[in-house]
C-alpha cells in the first residue's frame, strides 16, 4: 500500500512540472529595473516588454516597474526575496551585478551568481563620451586633451549613480589620462544625468548609448566618441574613443534577464525561449540598434548566461581594484 502511494506521488510530481509551465503565467508579470525612468535599463525594458510577453504566452502581460536606488542594488536585493514562480523578473546590468559586489564596502547583501536565476541576455551597449555643448574643444582629441591637462576638480562629470557603469568608466578614463581628478556628480538615472550635462550641472560624462542616443541626435549634448572596440552602426560618424584619443580604451555594458533563485526549470526554459524569440526578431533588433543596444547574438541559454555572469564578476573585481572606486553603504 505504501509503495503504491509513493509511486502515485512520484507520478504526480513528474506531471506537475509540465503543468506548471502550461499554466504559466497566470497573472501579469513584473519586469523590474533598478533605475528611474529614462535610463538605459528602463528604455530596454519598455522596448522589449510587449513582444517578450507576447512570445511568452497568448494573452500574457508584462508590466515594467522601476525600483531605483544605489545603482540597482536596492532592486536586486528585493528581487532575490521574491517568489520564484516566474511572475517577477528583472532586467539587470553591470552596475548592480558586476561593479557593486566588488566596490561596495562589505559587499552586497546578495551574491550576483548564487542568489539569482540567470535566464538570458538582451544585448550589449557601448557607452559614449558626451559633453555640454559649450565645452571647450570640438573633437574627441581636443576634449580629451583638455581633460588631461585640467586642474584637479576643475571639471565636474555627471553619472547615473555612485557605482554605476558611467561612474566606473570615467574613473577608468581618468587613470588612462595619467590620474586626472574630476568632481563626481551622481544622479538617479541616465536620463537625469544627461539633463544635468545639457544644463551644465556637469560638464561631461560617459553615458550608456541607449540613454544618450536621443539627446545626441537632438544636439542637447555633444556625442564625441563611443567606448566600444568598433564604431556603432547606428552612429557610424562617431569614432571610438580608442581610435580618436585613448588607444586601447574599451568598455561596454549589457542587459540580462534574471529571476529570483530556484525558479522551476520548466518556467526558466519557457521564459528563455520567449526572450530569445524577442531579441532575434528582425524588427526588434533594428529598434534596439536605433536605441543604442546591439541585440545578443552569441549562445543565449540559461547556462551560458550564468557563465557570462561569472566572468563579468571576475572582470569587474579587477577593474574596481585598479580604479580604487569604493562605495559607502
Q: What is the CATH number of the domain that holds 35?
A: 3.40.190.150
Q: Quick one: 151 exposed, middle or buried, by C-beta within 10 A (0-12, 13-18, 19+)?
A: exposed
pLDDT number for residue 22:
63
Q: Name the residue among 81, 93, 39, 46 with its Cα closest to residue 65.
A: 46
Q: What is the CATH number of the domain that holds 132?
A: 3.40.190.10
Out of 202, 231, 252, a domain closes at 252
The residue segments making up the domain with residue 266 are 25-124+253-323
What is the overall mean pLDDT for the chain?
A: 92
**140 & 226 share domain:** yes
Say how far apart CA 60 and CA 73 lie, in whole Å. Answer: 28
Q: Which grid cell sits at 327? A: 562605495
Which region among 8-17, 48-57, 297-306 has the lowest average model confidence (pLDDT)? 8-17
pLDDT (mean) for 187-210: 95
Tell me the Ramachandran region of residue 118: left when phi exceeds 0, alpha when psi lies from -120 to 50, beta otherwise. Answer: beta
Written as one string, the DSSP assignment of 66-109 is E--SGGGHHHHHHHTTS-SSSSEEEEE-HIIIIIHHHHBTT--S
pLDDT in tens, 108-155: 999 999 999 999 999 999 999 999 999 999 999 999 999 999 999 999
The pTM assigned to this predicted structure is: 0.87
pLDDT in tens, 216-227: 999 999 999 999
**200 & 166 share domain:** yes
Band of the pLDDT at 39, cuts 50, 70, 90?
A: confident
**167 & 241 share domain:** yes
Residue 232 lies in a domain: yes
Three-state DSSP at 54 gives helix
According to the 3-state scheme, what is the secondary structure of 120-144? EEEEEEEEEEEECCCCCCCCHHHHH
Out of 197, 221, 252, a domain closes at 252
DSSP state of 187: -
In a 13 Å sphere around the CA of 63, the CA atoms on its Cβ side amount to 9
Higher pLDDT, 262 or 3: 262
Band of the pLDDT at 21, cuts 50, 70, 90?
A: low
Out of 252, 284, 313, a domain closes at 252
pLDDT (mean) for 190-204: 96
pLDDT in tens, 40-78: 899 999 999 999 999 999 999 999 999 999 889 999 999
pLDDT number for residue 126:
96
19 has a pLDDT exceeding 60: no
Amino acid at each position: 500500500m505504501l509503495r503504491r502511494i509513493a509511486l502515485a506521488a512520484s507520478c504526480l510530481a513528474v506531471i506537475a512540472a509540465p503543468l506548471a509551465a502550461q499554466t504559466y503565467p497566470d497573472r501579469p508579470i513584473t519586469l523590474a529595473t533598478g533605475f528611474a525612468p529614462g535610463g538605459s535599463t528602463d528604455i530596454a525594458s519598455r522596448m522589449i516588454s510587449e513582444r517578450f510577453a507576447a512570445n511568452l504566452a497568448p494573452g500574457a502581460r508584462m508590466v515594467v516597474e522601476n525600483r531605483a536606488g544605489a545603482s540597482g542594488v536596492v532592486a536586486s536585493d528585493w528581487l532575490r526575496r521574491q517568489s520564484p514562480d516566474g511572475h517577477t523578473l528583472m532586467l539587470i546590468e553591470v552596475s548592480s551585478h558586476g561593479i557593486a559586489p566588488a566596490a561596495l564596502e562589505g559587499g552586497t547583501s546578495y551574491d550576483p551568481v548564487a542568489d539569482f536565476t540567470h535566464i538570458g541576455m538582451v544585448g550589449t551597449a557601448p557607452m559614449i563620451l558626451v559633453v555640454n555643448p559649450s565645452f571647450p574643444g570640438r573633437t574627441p582629441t581636443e576634449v580629451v586633451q583638455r581633460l588631461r591637462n585640467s586642474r584637479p576638480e576643475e571639471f565636474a562629470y555627471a553619472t547615473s549613480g555612485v557605482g554605476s557603469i558611467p561612474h566606473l568608466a570615467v574613473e577608468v578614463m581618468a587613470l588612462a589620462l595619467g590620474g586626472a581628478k574630476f568632481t563626481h556628480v551622481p544622479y538617479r538615472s541616465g536620463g537625469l544625468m544627461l539633463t544635468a550635462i545639457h544644463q551644465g550641472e556637469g560638464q561631461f560624462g560617459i553615458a550608456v548609448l541607449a540613454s544618450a542616443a536621443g539627446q545626441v541626435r537632438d544636439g542637447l549634448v555633444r556625442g564625441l566618441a563611443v567606448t566600444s572596440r568598433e564604431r556603432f552602426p547606428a552612429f557610424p560618424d562617431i569614432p571610438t574613443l580608442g581610435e580618436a584619443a585613448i588607444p586601447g580604451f574599451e568598455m561596454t555594458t549589457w542587459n540580462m534577464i534574471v529571476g529570483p533563485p530556484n525558479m522551476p526549470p520548466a518556467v526558466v526554459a519557457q521564459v528563455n525561449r520567449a526572450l530569445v524569440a524577442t531579441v532575434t526578431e528582425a524588427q526588434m533588433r533594428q529598434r534596439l540598434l536605433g536605441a543604442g543596444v546591439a541585440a545578443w547574438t552569441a549562445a543565449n541559454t540559461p547556462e551560458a548566461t550564468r557563465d557570462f555572469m561569472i566572468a563579468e564578476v571576475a572582470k569587474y573585481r579587477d577593474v574596481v581594484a585598479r580604479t580604487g572606486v569604493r562605495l559607502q553603504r
